[in-house]
Structure 1
Amino acid sequence: MLRQASKILIALGLSLSCASYGEDLGQILGAASTQELAAIQEGRRAMLSSMLGKSSGPFVEAYVQGKWSEVLKHWGTEVAGTGFASSANGKALLGLILFANGLETTGIEQLFQVSQPAGVSPALLNEWKRAAPGSAPVWKQVQIKWDPEWTKTFGVAARVRATAQQLRSKEDLKTIEQMITETVPDTAERAWLQWQLVTALAIKGEVGEAAKMLGPLMKYKVNPVSDGLMNITAARLLYKRGYLDVAANYYNQVPKSSYYWFEAQEELGWIYIRQNKPEDVLAQTNTFMVTDFGFLVGPETYYLRGLAQLSICDYPNSVKTLMYFKDKFRGRAQQLIEVQSKGPQSVDQLIQAMNHPDLKVETAGQVVSKLPRRVLRDEKIRQLSQGFAALERETALVSKNFAAPAEKWLSEMLAGKLASIKSMVGTRVQALATKELKEIDETLTRMQVLEVEVIQQVDSAAKRLAKTGSGKGLKPTAKKGQTGSRSKDSLTFKTKANEVWFDELANYRVNVKQFCANGGSENEKAN
């Protein structure tokens, strides 16, 4: 009995190579003896016999010999539609066969249809464990719901890759902390979990604890989180604690190639507002007034600029900013309302763009011209897009190798999965559209308050000038800007109006002469 069990384990141990390469046992083992081959085949036959209740037939023989394409073809004619096919072992076995044929995403998702993992044969689970290690890239592409039982088979690394993006709320803190203790230090899995812990702590409001976790994480050599996201997160945590100068330093470290650079520039402007440096706010936002980045620039940037202009009593330009905002975001709001109600016009184009290796910030504005600006950095959409690309490759494989009428169920299965992902992407885009519409609405309210303030101050200034005369006697307060060109990317003015030199952006310096601080009514001074 023990000898028989040993043979089964040997068979399952060597079957990984077959699953990985889809080759015949003889080709893989090469110089293996006849006795060894017989033991492997006997072990496979025993496993199938225990599950199917039979030890012979075309399906069994193809599986025993490791002829995976034949196994899948015979599944459709011999096993599909039977009671076994709908059982836990049936779903797990079909998943393994799909995986062995190169349909890895489909195979794992098929396995995870099993509602009770404990009901799957230990021998079959052992083969799965060898076929899909936790380091396999496919775990990042699958759309599954993780049962804790699966961790016993695939380990924490697989769980992290498959589900870590779902662990984000403050309710997940204990789960994340437990998973961290189960991962190996200095690995991508440990780093990703620590990043999730940072975000969960920040959401909970424990800014200090989040910052303590983030510091060491930023020094990791193996880190799946981009430099841009790490730096802007560090800046935000420091900003919340009131360390404005240090926060500004981290905002400036967000690279211009990052999708977070635009928000970093905006949030850096708020630091200058709090430090009473309107001249630097104007310099910070000037880039977005002279260069068209489409809607990669959020609405609050224009409120920030208008606020700085108001603070130095630059009423004409403050009004220009107000009008520019209204013109720009009136049409934008209509676009987003349509996306919110009907979904994006072309999910396929978005998915294609998300998977394009050469998509850069310089050209990203075209992609989001009619979509929420945050789609390009949305983790969920990126994961769905990667899964979609994997399923497209598997669809091509099915079309090439399994095109017979009896195998139509395979292409139909994949078509259903592709449609499901497109639907999820569309739903996510609609949610982002709703979020951006709310942001525009809130900014519009602030802009309206700003507009009223401009009118009041202009009226007050007019009355003051009527009393004092032409105003020639007023002495302005000079404020020199602190922002500007750095030696590594100094600003050179361009000869072509439509030419954008990306390294020159955010290198403006503005000096202002502030008149409104000299004199004025008590009401105006209070404002």
Structure 2
Amino acid sequence: MISKKTFVSQLLMVTALSVGHNALAAERFSVKDWGNSLENSLSEKSGKTTLNLLDFNKLESKVIGSSSDSKIKQKIQKARELFAAGKYSQSLALYNEVPRGSDYWFQIVEEKGWAYFRQNDSEKALAQSKTLLSPQFAEVVNSEAYLLQSLAELKICDYKSVFKTTQMFKEKQRDRIASVQALTKEGFNDAFLTVLKKVDKFPLQATEVGESLLKLPVLYYKDVELQKQMLRFKLSQKGMEVLAAKNVQRTLQTQLDQINKEAFINMKVRLQELANNETADNKRVIGKLNLVEVEAIQRVHTDQKLADAAYTKNDFKDTNVDQLVFKDDGRPWIDELDKYDVVTKSCAQNVRRKM
């Protein structure tokens, strides 16, 4: 299992590859700065400014509702629509417009893999899944990444790799799946409460939630409703601190306390919903992985009887003088991710199979 410290450092490196990432970070809303503004408005007895600062609905809409990744979400939605319509090449073109440093990058790589799979291009599908299941990210990616890889391996009759993938799924995803499943009943865990305590800027980014990704639903920190409730909780908490320090507005302090308690409950409910959804998806994936494994076992016994002449083998595409090629040793450098090229040995010919 990759250490938490190593995982966070790798995540920081990947995110840093995004063009303009630092510029986006500078534009985000800070609860600490908001608290300073509230304190100043109270000192200056500017009632209008104070009321504007305490308009949480307006703040939520401005900070979360119009976040900087809305354009990326629109591209993803359009790409999915094209995928559903069978226009895989067009969907891939849109997916490729999303920068690698995006918080949605894992999701993009996986969905690209499924598009290649639907195009019957198992080699490119495997190139995507190999990025997702690299040692840096195998514990935090969506469980469907393992299904994608195992199906692509089954399709090219690489049964040994099928068994390796299903075994890796059990080893790498067990803890996170168990943690997410526990959330369906408990609502909170230490990982989330740690994030809630330390986070200051919104919208949230992966680099700030770091280790919690090992214990919480995939992309939980990008969920709009959860972010709104987290923001409301942090604002009401900071507001109470400011008012208590100045010993003013006791009635307002009581109102903020009520808002704080409601936000806490709403966060728990939303996390449970996210955990329930992901747990249902995980159960579906586990069921399909079991079927893939059974199919692979059956095929092994059949294919052992076939002669080598029944198979064909592909070659890597030619490279030019400006390219360097390295054999995969299972320990990729960060800048190698999403640049895999996979060549496979085809299944035996003239054998009828149902996929």
TM-score bin (small chain)? 0.7 to 0.9
- Aligned partner of 1:399 in structure 2 is 244
- Aligned partner of 1:379 in structure 2 is 224
What CA deviation, in whole Å up to 9, does each residue of 1:465-524 have, x standing for no partner?
4xxxxx343441426579x99x9x988899996x862x432111111121x23244x4xx
Any conservation in 1 of the 2:311–2:348 contact (CA below 8 Å)?
no
Tell me: CA distance 1:431–1:357, structure 2 relative to 1, closer, same or farther (3 Å).
Answer: closer
Q: CA deviation at 1:277?
A: 0.8
Distance in 2 (alpha carbons) for counterparts of 1:511 and 1:388:
51
Q: CA deviation at 1:396?
A: 2.3
- Aligned partner of 2:345 in structure 1 is 513
SS of alignment partner, residue 373 of structure 1:
coil
Runs (5+) with no aligned partner, structure 1:
1-19, 25-66, 69-98, 110-137, 142-160, 166-191, 193-222, 466-470
Any conservation in 1 of the 2:95–2:112 contact (CA below 8 Å)?
yes
TM-score by length of 2: 0.75
- Aligned partner of 1:206 in structure 2 is none
Distance in 2 (alpha carbons) for counterparts of 1:496 and 1:318:
16
2:167 paired with 1:326: no
Any conservation in 2 of the 1:374–1:432 contact (CA below 8 Å)?
no
Any conservation in 1 of the 2:132–2:138 contact (CA below 8 Å)?
no
Distance in 1 (alpha carbons) for counterparts of 2:291 and 2:317:
27
SS of alignment partner, residue 345 of structure 2:
strand
- Aligned partner of 1:251 in structure 2 is 95
Q: CA deviation at 1:389?
A: 2.7
What CA deviation, in whole Å up to 9, does each residue of 1:176-202 have, x standing for no partner?
xxxxxxxxxxxxxxxx6xxxxxxxxxx
What CA deviation, in whole Å up to 9, does each residue of 1:233-263 have, x standing for no partner?
2211211222211110111111122221111
* Alignment match of 1:459 (pick from 276, 287, 301): 301
Distance in 2 (alpha carbons) for counterparts of 1:22 and 1:352:
25
- Aligned partner of 2:286 in structure 1 is 444
Q: CA deviation at 1:353?
A: 5.7
Distance in 2 (alpha carbons) for counterparts of 1:362 and 1:23:
35
Q: Whose radius of gyration is greater, 1 or 2? A: 1
Runs (5+) with no aligned partner, structure 2:
1-39
Distance in 2 (alpha carbons) for counterparts of 1:435 and 1:247:
25
Whose relative contact order is higher, 1 or 2, with alpha carbons under 8 Å and at least 6 apart?
2
Distance in 2 (alpha carbons) for counterparts of 1:362 and 1:244:
31
TM-score by length of 1: 0.53
Tell me: CA distance 1:389–1:231, structure 2 relative to 1, closer, same or farther (3 Å).
Answer: same
Q: CA deviation at 1:226?
A: 3.3
2:282 paired with 1:282: no
- Aligned partner of 1:147 in structure 2 is none
Distance in 2 (alpha carbons) for counterparts of 1:476 and 1:426:
54
**Does 431-440 or 265-274 show the bigger shift?**
265-274
Any conservation in 1 of the 2:133–2:145 contact (CA below 8 Å)?
no
Tell me: CA distance 1:363–1:479, structure 2 relative to 1, closer, same or farther (3 Å).
Answer: farther
C-alpha RMSD over aligned residues: 3.6
What CA deviation, in whole Å up to 9, does each residue of 1:144-191 have, x standing for no partner?
xxxxxxxxxxxxxxxxx38x96xxxxxxxxxxxxxxxxxxxxxxxxxx
Tell me: CA distance 1:492–1:228, structure 2 relative to 1, closer, same or farther (3 Å).
Answer: farther
- The number of aligned residues is 314
Write the letter of the residue equivalent to 1:274: R
* Alignment match of 2:145 (pick from 286, 301, 312): 301
Write the letter of the residue equivalent to 1:461: D
Distance in 2 (alpha carbons) for counterparts of 1:295 and 1:252:
24
* 1:55-204 mapped onto 2 (5 Å cutoff): 100=48, 102=50, 104=52, 106=54, 108=55, 139-141=58-60, 161=61
SS of alignment partner, residue 314 of structure 2:
strand
Identity fraction in percent: 25
Distance in 1 (alpha carbons) for counterparts of 2:348 and 2:297:
17
Q: CA deviation at 1:290?
A: 2.2
Q: CA deviation at 1:370?
A: 1.4
Distance in 2 (alpha carbons) for counterparts of 1:247 and 1:352:
39
